[in-house]
Amino acid sequence: MIVRPRPTFLQLFFVMRGSVVPRILPQIFGFAIYSAVILALARWFQLDLGVFNITPFGLVGVTLSIYLSFRNNAAYDRWWEARKLWGTLVFEIRNLARATTSLISDQTEQRALLMEALAFCHFLRGQLRKIDSVKDTRAFIDAEADTVASFANPADEMVRRMGRRANARRRAGEIDSIGFRILDERLASITAIQAGCERIAGTPLPFAYTLLVHRTAYIVCLLLPIGLISTTGWATPLFMALIAYTFFGLDALSEELEDPFGTEANDLALDGLCRVCEISVFEALGETPPKMIPAEKFYFS
Amino acid sequence: MIVRPRPTFLQLFFVMRGSVVPRILPQIFGFAIYSAVILALARWFQLDLGVFNITPFGLVGVTLSIYLSFRNNAAYDRWWEARKLWGTLVFEIRNLARATTSLISDQTEQRALLMEALAFCHFLRGQLRKIDSVKDTRAFIDAEADTVASFANPADEMVRRMGRRANARRRAGEIDSIGFRILDERLASITAIQAGCERIAGTPLPFAYTLLVHRTAYIVCLLLPIGLISTTGWATPLFMALIAYTFFGLDALSEELEDPFGTEANDLALDGLCRVCEISVFEALGETPPKMIPAEKFYFS
Amino acid sequence: MIVRPRPTFLQLFFVMRGSVVPRILPQIFGFAIYSAVILALARWFQLDLGVFNITPFGLVGVTLSIYLSFRNNAAYDRWWEARKLWGTLVFEIRNLARATTSLISDQTEQRALLMEALAFCHFLRGQLRKIDSVKDTRAFIDAEADTVASFANPADEMVRRMGRRANARRRAGEIDSIGFRILDERLASITAIQAGCERIAGTPLPFAYTLLVHRTAYIVCLLLPIGLISTTGWATPLFMALIAYTFFGLDALSEELEDPFGTEANDLALDGLCRVCEISVFEALGETPPKMIPAEKFYFS
Amino acid sequence: MIVRPRPTFLQLFFVMRGSVVPRILPQIFGFAIYSAVILALARWFQLDLGVFNITPFGLVGVTLSIYLSFRNNAAYDRWWEARKLWGTLVFEIRNLARATTSLISDQTEQRALLMEALAFCHFLRGQLRKIDSVKDTRAFIDAEADTVASFANPADEMVRRMGRRANARRRAGEIDSIGFRILDERLASITAIQAGCERIAGTPLPFAYTLLVHRTAYIVCLLLPIGLISTTGWATPLFMALIAYTFFGLDALSEELEDPFGTEANDLALDGLCRVCEISVFEALGETPPKMIPAEKFYFS
Amino acid sequence: MIVRPRPTFLQLFFVMRGSVVPRILPQIFGFAIYSAVILALARWFQLDLGVFNITPFGLVGVTLSIYLSFRNNAAYDRWWEARKLWGTLVFEIRNLARATTSLISDQTEQRALLMEALAFCHFLRGQLRKIDSVKDTRAFIDAEADTVASFANPADEMVRRMGRRANARRRAGEIDSIGFRILDERLASITAIQAGCERIAGTPLPFAYTLLVHRTAYIVCLLLPIGLISTTGWATPLFMALIAYTFFGLDALSEELEDPFGTEANDLALDGLCRVCEISVFEALGETPPKMIPAEKFYFS
């Protein structure tokens, strides 16, 4: 995730980090060159393209704008919902820390339960990013990390372990039914967060949208120079570059936001959010919390 | 559901699986040929269509874009809500598994309750897809599956059976009121999911929308060639094919997403979601979970 | 509510049931004839209308499209929220049936409570449709139906009666506080559904929207022929009919969806939803449920 | 709030009650006269304005339509959320009535608590409408009304009083913890409703929107006649009146809906909603409920 | 936050407080002067720019309007969600005050808990506004304020302290499990509010949007004069100023609303909302509440 102050007027045109421009340079230059070739051919053979103009593109443009606008909104909603789910995780971890330290008097058990919660966060992060996060969880649950990692769904197993621990306290008579219910509600909410994240990570936007948007955008950009030449003349490549920038820029950004759990520039800072959970848990246990992860050139991992 | 890496530039134009193109080929070629005929007639009889242009279509285009955009948003919302409901089902099954294994000590009862939950998932899938899923449920509840299948609403009966089982535990004094309440909340949530899915499956978008969108799209495409000829000349069939592609492509996709429980390429992977529930349940019971269902040419059933 | 398979290409233009066309025929033909008269007058008196064109209508068209689009979205949201509320009613009735048969052991009391719940559904349906549904409720609560019908808000009285019955069980010591709370939550949710339906039925969209939309649509359609003639010539009546169809078609549909509890073709199938509740209740009581109400020419009442 | 049957074709143009026309007559006539003056000057001095046309207004029109559309949606959302909050109040009062009559056996206490709830409704209505509603509350809590009115936030004080009364019952051993919790949840929900209403009443849309919309609309209307004259000639004032009607009509309506608690024609019928609460409470107490407030020329206060 | 009566027609053009005009004066005048220079050069060298017109900008304009509209909606949603979170805080503080004064009989403990709640509000305000609010919290928790301020997340520590205090009451036997649960739910909700505010404050809109919007807006404004000159002639600078005003005005406003916790003119009145909480708490304790913070030239801090 990029967090940086607003760039100045000049910086604006040269900032690359966080921008989608590097990803769509092929399209921008491709269509500029393509239209320059069309232009050269038309001038060379003295083709009369005056009868063509861009009016017919208006109707297609309306549909294309519906596609782009819809896809952008849907992708952003997924990104923001993913952020909300992790925000919910933060406060459920805090609630769990408060409830655990209140209801469970045995400090070893307190700590063990909360360490499992932190391991859950890191397992979930690993599953969503499709990376190996077992080494991060070892800091909290030691050798158990490898046992858990052998499960089909390690994060799910962590919640079950917390549930078993809470239940053991209930059976030991340390917490009553209401106390167990308070802890169980926290775990139910954490389970919901996991399923929500799995939903976003596992169900992309219907593939047919991607095809519709891409095909329409490419066909329009392939036909457009013919319609533009009579109006914009030698400036056609410039206009084509601008149009390709706006079409494919929005498209590339939507694609990046659609899967918010990656490690691209505009994806969520899951490392940082795990650290926020750690800080709250260690402060609740009265231990020294770790430092917040600093940004690297405005980028939070 | 199609999950596949982004196609390359060339693949983009030839991918058929997941695309709506096969379904709208009649419209694309139909209107291309139709406009070619109009064009030929106009040239043959030297009709002066110069007075017509596409400007009047602008006002109709605005309304048509409202229809298409609205219908697309509504269809996608239904699809995504359906996915959310099944995501909720996943975590409620997990919560139920955790609560059951905690609260009920008799392992036979634990297993019986959770097998009923899995049977519920498969009955619901069967009802939503209008297919016979009794054979899938037999794996979990044996001969009882046929008794349940004779009910007007088998999934509903499964929830009642789980309710009766939980209540029997309560009356036997094994779980207290709070414990019963925790299980009952899970069942209430599962009931809500079922009713939500039935709502989406049973209540299509108002039929009048379908008529309005189709009629307007067909009338516009029938009149449009007359307005286009003076501007686009011999390229008119090409433009008509493009416009038909964008109009009817969005229309066909909306129709597919409107009923998200089918087995078309862009419908939800209910088989896979049922399997996710099975994995969680069997892992919670300490048994070997089944494997995840693999994709078949990027398609998850 | 209309549920029917997609019409074929030819059916598409002749389907009347569920379509808004019959309601807007006056506008379609009215504006076609009106523009034909304008056209004839212009030709007769050889008026030069070449200076007028439809460009100025673009700015008004933008605002009109905002109105139509907004009104359509708001009306659909009301319709869909109403459907959601009734879907919630279905699952709360099912939850109530499960909770009642679990918690209350006296079978006469069980049945009495659930019959009151079904009477509630029918009273609510009657109040929302402004029809007399007392005769339907007699099937469930016999002569009590007439007593209840004399209240200012019979559905509200039904919930109070269920509340008193649940409370009597609590005072008799048959259900404990938690059991009472489970039943009370069901009743609270049912009360919320009723208030939600009353809100939609009693609070139409602000009347000023209706005026703004209608006035703008009529004024635009009255002025438009003058602007169209120079472009579309003798085809002007055809275009006016098309434009009137799209404007007033969307308008008529919005009006129909705005009050989703009526008995028009696109309104909700409250009769069917009440029957769904009956089926669940009777199956929960172990009695033979009634049959689902069949569609009449694709129409569910 | 205006609730009336759909006006006929002729009524449509003359209905004033509920319309925003009276409020925007200055703008409609002002810009018509202004454009007539521009037109007369242009004709008198034989200015050649042919070079100007309305094309450049297209780009500004796009932004203006974003403003108007956004503001309209936001204002309507506020209005509808306010209506939802009061709908929630209705059912929470009903829930409170049901819970109170169930849980509290002392009828004097029952009645006292519910009268305080009705006083709350009227105090809230008074605070939101910025009117003196103390006299309405005296009907329910007599002389206490004046004591309560001296608090900084009388409605808030009413909830505290209900809380103290419920707590007194708990301390007296009449209701148990679960019973107290049921009542407390009702009060918590009522507190939420109050804070929600205060939020809508106290936080208008950001003032900068109002400025942006108004300034852009005025500047566009001031420049537009110059661009229109070459196209619409002597009909320019007519078009300007139409455009001013659509721009400022939507603007005036948004402004009216933005603060939904006033007493303008399109504001919410808070008097009627308070009466709905009274009817439910008195029916729950077995007393004769008051009559519903009738509409005055289709207007519900 | 600005709350002021609607300005009159003349005021409208000169109001500066709350307007975004001062922030975008460089863009407005910059592009006006820039286009004047282009105009002068074109006239001086008698360049024929007649071949250029603004039609090609239509397609870019569509995409730009998608960007601006999306960004505006997203920014407003963040602003309004932030306001809702603080509205929720207000009613949770009131609920906490009611629950505390009911359930905890020791008045010193009551007061101590509620003072900690007020300190939480001020710490949260300080963290969100990135200002030092320790001095404000000293009024409520004296010297403890400095201890709390040394934590990584002081607001989080305040909730933990309230939790410990509530737990101490539970262990002392003063409140039962249900009473503890009521207090714990309030604290859980307050934790959720904090995490929600941290989410909005810490996660700006994806940086790539800012780049896309700014770059497109600047490029369009740099190219537009060339297209406009042939149509608008000497009025080009005027039009450019108007277009820059609408583009960059919406942009600047979106930027201001995107971070709603600042102290700019359109940001939320956190000082006032903290005071609202104080008033409710002190009235609940039976003490004299402080006065509401008055506006300073229509501005609420």
Predicted confidence band at D125 (pLDDT cuts at 50, 70, 90)?
Answer: very high
- Please answer yes or no on whether B94 and A195 come within 8 Å at the CB atom: yes
- Please answer yes or no on whether A18 and E207 come within 8 Å at the CB atom: yes
- Give the closest residue to C202 by CA, choosing from D2, D251, D135: D2
Domain count, chain A: 1
Minimal Cα distance from C50: which residue of D? D231
- Please answer yes or no on whether D66 and E61 come within 8 Å at the CB atom: no
Minimal Cα distance from C60: which residue of B? B59
Residue B7 has pLDDT above 80, yes or no: no
Question: B170-174, C264-268, C296-300, E275-279: lowest mean pLDDT where?
Answer: C296-300
The encoded tokens of residue C102 equal 């679990």
Cα(A143)–Cα(A147) distance, rounded to whole angstroms? 7
- Closest chain B C-alpha to C20 CA, distance in angstroms: 7
- Please answer yes or no on whether D65 and C63 come within 8 Å at the CB atom: yes
Q: pLDDT digits over E136-168, tens only?
A: 999 999 889 999 999 999 999 999 999 999 999
Q: Which residue has the higher pLDDT, C297 or E74?
A: E74
Which of chain D's residues have a Cβ under 8 Å away from the Cβ of C166?
A: 102
Cα(B193)–Cα(B196) distance, rounded to whole angstroms? 5
- Please answer yes or no on whether D70 and E73 come within 8 Å at the CB atom: yes
Cα(B108)–Cα(C264) distance, rounded to whole angstroms? 53
Cβ neighbours for B36, distance < 8 A, ≥ 6 positions apart = B236, B237
Minimal Cα distance from A156: which residue of B? B280
- Closest chain A C-alpha to B147 CA, distance in angstroms: 32
Per-residue CA distances from C241 to A155, A192, C30 (Å): 61, 53, 8
Is C242 within a domain? yes
Q: Which of C15, C63, C73, C94 to mutate to test the interface with B (most CBs of B within 10 A)?
A: C94
Give φ, ψ of A299 to 5 degrees.
Answer: -100, 125
CB D56 within 8 A of CB E228: yes
Name the amino acid, one letter, at E42: A
Instruction: Provide the pLDDT for residue A277.
Output: 95
Picking from C103, C235, C257, the nearest residue to B206 by CB comes out as C257
- Please, is C135 exposed, middle or buried when counting C-beta atoms within 10 Å of its C-beta (0-12, 13-18, 19+)? exposed
Alpha carbon of residue D41 to chain centroid: 44
Is E35 within a domain? yes
Task: Tell me how crowded residue E167 is: count the other CB atoms within 10 A of its CB.
Answer: 19
Picking from B3, B15, B98, the nearest residue to A160 by CB comes out as B98
Query: At D292, is the secondary structure helix, strand, or coil?
Result: coil
Is A155 within a domain? yes
The pLDDT mean for chain D works out to 89
- Please answer yes or no on whether E54 and D51 come within 8 Å at the CB atom: no
Residue A238 has pLDDT above 70, yes or no: yes
Predicted confidence band at E51 (pLDDT cuts at 50, 70, 90)?
Answer: low
The encoded tokens of residue A12 equal 């604006």
Instruction: Provide the pLDDT for residue A61.
Output: 77
Predicted confidence band at E180 (pLDDT cuts at 50, 70, 90)?
Answer: very high
- Please answer yes or no on whether D63 and E1 come within 8 Å at the CB atom: no
Sheet strands (E) in C70-179: none
Cα(A161)–Cα(E53) distance, rounded to whole angstroms? 69
- Please answer yes or no on whether A88 and E210 come within 8 Å at the CB atom: no
Full pLDDT tens readout for chain C, 301 residues = 888 877 777 777 788 777 888 889 999 999 999 999 988 988 888 776 655 666 677 778 778 888 889 999 999 999 999 999 999 999 999 999 999 999 998 999 999 999 999 999 999 999 999 999 999 999 999 889 999 999 999 999 999 999 999 999 999 999 988 999 999 999 999 999 999 999 999 999 998 888 888 889 998 888 888 878 877 778 889 889 998 998 899 989 998 899 999 888 889 999 999 999 999 999 999 999 999 988 888 888 8
CB C70 within 8 A of CB C206: no
- Please answer yes or no on whether D216 and E245 come within 8 Å at the CB atom: yes
Cα(B160)–Cα(B181) distance, rounded to whole angstroms? 15
Cβ neighbours for B199, distance < 8 A, ≥ 6 positions apart = C83, C84, C87
Instruction: Provide the pLDDT for residue C86.
Output: 96
Q: pLDDT digits over B117-144, tens only?
A: 999 999 999 999 999 999 999 999 988 9
Cα(C31)–Cα(C24) distance, rounded to whole angstroms? 11
- Closest chain A C-alpha to B150 CA, distance in angstroms: 33
- Please, is A297 exposed, middle or buried when counting C-beta atoms within 10 Å of its C-beta (0-12, 13-18, 19+)? exposed
The encoded tokens of residue A5 equal 């102050």
Q: pLDDT digits over B252-265, tens only?
A: 999 889 999 988 88
CB A132 within 8 A of CB A121: no
Q: What is the CA radius of gyration of chain E?
A: 26
- Closest chain C C-alpha to B295 CA, distance in angstroms: 30
- Closest chain E C-alpha to D250 CA, distance in angstroms: 16
Instruction: Provide the pLDDT for residue C46.
Output: 77
Is C293 within a domain? no
Minimal Cα distance from D289: which residue of C? C152
- Please answer yes or no on whether C65 and B66 come within 8 Å at the CB atom: yes
Is A56 within a domain? yes
Instruction: Provide the pLDDT for residue D50.
Output: 58
- Please answer yes or no on whether A12 and E194 come within 8 Å at the CB atom: no
**For residue A169, what are the β-bridge partners?**
none
Chains within contact range of chain D (3+ C-beta pairs < 8 Å) = C, E
Q: How many CB contacts within 8 angstroms connect chain A with chain E?
A: 165
Predicted confidence band at E2 (pLDDT cuts at 50, 70, 90)?
Answer: confident
Picking from A4, A21, A284, the nearest residue to E207 by CB comes out as A4
Cα(B110)–Cα(B103) distance, rounded to whole angstroms? 9
Q: How many CB contacts within 8 angstroms connect chain A with chain B?
A: 170
Q: What b/e sequence results for E225-237 when a residue is b if at least 16 CB atoms lie within 10 Å of its CB, and e otherwise?
A: bbbbbbbbeebbb
Residue D54 has pLDDT above 70, yes or no: no
User: Could you write out the DSSP letters of every residue in E257-280?
Assistant: HHSTTS-STTS--HHHHHHHHHHH
Q: Which of D153, D171, D212 to mutate to test the interface with E (most CBs of E within 10 A)?
A: D212
Residue A49 has pLDDT above 80, yes or no: no
- Please answer yes or no on whether D51 and E233 come within 8 Å at the CB atom: yes
- What is the average pLDDT across B43-52? 71
Cα(B247)–Cα(B222) distance, rounded to whole angstroms? 13
Q: pLDDT digits over E183-212, tens only?
A: 999 999 999 999 999 999 999 999 888 888
CB B117 within 8 A of CB B281: yes
User: Could you write out the DSSP letters of every residue in D93-153?
Assistant: HHHHHHHHHHH---HHHHHHHHHHHHHHHHHHHHHHHTS--HHHHHHHHTTHHHHHHTSSS
Chains within contact range of chain A (3+ C-beta pairs < 8 Å) = B, E
Which of chain C's residues have a Cβ under 8 Å away from the Cβ of B149?
A: none
Predicted confidence band at D47 (pLDDT cuts at 50, 70, 90)?
Answer: confident
- What is the average pLDDT across E98-107? 92
Is D176 within a domain? yes
Q: pLDDT digits over E58-73, tens only?
A: 778 778 888 889 999 9
- Closest chain E C-alpha to A143 CA, distance in angstroms: 30
Cα(A21)–Cα(A247) distance, rounded to whole angstroms? 12
Per-residue CA distances from A119 to A140, A186, A286 (Å): 6, 16, 19
Predicted confidence band at A300 (pLDDT cuts at 50, 70, 90)?
Answer: confident
- Please answer yes or no on whether C182 and B178 come within 8 Å at the CB atom: no
Picking from A62, A94, A243, the nearest residue to E156 by CB comes out as A94
- Closest chain C C-alpha to B3 CA, distance in angstroms: 28
Picking from E2, E91, E181, the nearest residue to D192 by CB comes out as E91
Is D253 within a domain? yes
Which of chain E's residues have a Cβ under 8 Å away from the Cβ of D215?
A: 12-13, 245
Instruction: Provide the pLDDT for residue D48.
Output: 66
Picking from D177, D196, D218, the nearest residue to E178 by CB comes out as D177
Name the amino acid, one letter, at E136: D
Residue E131 has pLDDT above 80, yes or no: yes
CB A125 within 8 A of CB A194: no
- Please, is A295 exposed, middle or buried when counting C-beta atoms within 10 Å of its C-beta (0-12, 13-18, 19+)? middle
Picking from E1, E90, E179, the nearest residue to D195 by CB comes out as E90
- Please answer yes or no on whether E182 and D184 come within 8 Å at the CB atom: yes
- Please answer yes or no on whether A284 and E55 come within 8 Å at the CB atom: no
Q: Name the DSSP letter for residue B299.
A: B
Instruction: Provide the pLDDT for residue E50.
Output: 58
Please give the residue range of the domain that contains residue B103.
88-204+273-294
Cα(C78)–Cα(A144) distance, rounded to whole angstroms? 52
Which of chain B's residues have a Cβ under 8 Å away from the Cβ of C87?
A: 195-196, 198-199
Instruction: Provide the pLDDT for residue E226.
Output: 81
Question: B127-131, B230-234, E91-95, E104-108: lowest mean pLDDT where?
Answer: B230-234
- Closest chain D C-alpha to C59 CA, distance in angstroms: 7
Chains within contact range of chain C (3+ C-beta pairs < 8 Å) = B, D
Minimal Cα distance from B299: which residue of A? A207
Question: A84-98, B48-62, D197-211: lowest mean pLDDT where?
Answer: B48-62
Picking from B235, B245, B289, the nearest residue to A152 by CB comes out as B289
Cα(E220)–Cα(E36) distance, rounded to whole angstroms? 16
| ipTM confidence | 0.94
- Give the closest residue to D103 by CA, choosing from D176, D43, D22: D176
Q: pLDDT digits over A176-228, tens only?
A: 888 999 999 999 999 999 999 999 999 999 988 888 888 899 988 888 888 78
Cα(B79)–Cα(B97) distance, rounded to whole angstroms? 27
Q: Which of C63, C174, C250 to mutate to test the interface with B (most CBs of B within 10 A)?
A: C250
Picking from A156, A164, A178, the nearest residue to B283 by CB comes out as A156
Instruction: Provide the pLDDT for residue B276.
Output: 95
Is C97 within a domain? yes
Q: Which of D246, D266, D297 to mutate to test the interface with C (most CBs of C within 10 A)?
A: D246
Cα(A4)–Cα(A138) distance, rounded to whole angstroms? 33
Minimal Cα distance from A59: which residue of B? B61
Instruction: Provide the pLDDT for residue C4.
Output: 80
Percent of chain E with pLDDT over 90: 59
Residue B98 has pLDDT above 90, yes or no: yes
Q: Which of A95, A170, A220, A224 to mutate to test the interface with E (most CBs of E within 10 A)?
A: A95
